Amino acid sequence: MNIKVLYFARIKESVNYSTEDLVLPTGVTTVTALKNHLAERGGTWATLFDGQQMVRAAINHELVENMAPISEGDEVAFFPPVTGG
């Protein structure tokens, strides 16, 4: 499955880039599974995505929870809790 992943704010600065195209292995079909997949990269990725830090997600520009399914061609974004207003 091919998806696009975007990172924002503190997370973008930590991983040092803002977007990447990913080919997901079979079985990585939810936000939680994708977070775990990214955490396996180790280092900063593990720190960010091992579940200790609050990381919000959006799929195709809609806020979603961790159980949300990911589909072919989706745009998945990861970011810290929002602080506008």
Partner 1 sequence: MSVRVQLEDFDVAAELRALRLASAEIGAVVSFVGQVRDINDGDDVQTLTLEHYPEMTTRALEKITQEAQSRWDIHDSLIIHRVGTLKPQDQIVLVAVTSQHRGEAFKACEFMMDYLKTQAPFWKKEATSQGERWVDAKLSDDEAQARWESE
Amino acid in the structure at residue 85 = G
Q: Please, which residues have CB within 8 angstroms of residue 65's CB and are 6 or more apart in sequence?
A: 31, 57
SS3 of 8-42: CHHHHHHHCCCEEEEECCCCCCEHHHHHHHHHCCC
Q: Which of these segments, 20-28, 29-37, 42-50, 72-80, binds partner 1 (CB under 8 A)?
A: 72-80
Please list every residue from 1 through 20 that binds partner 1, using CB under 8 A: 6, 8-10
CB of 16 to partner 1, least distance (A): 15
Kindly write out the interface string for residues 15-54 of this chain, putting x where it contacts partner 1 by CB under 8 A and - elsewhere. Answer: ---------------------------------------x
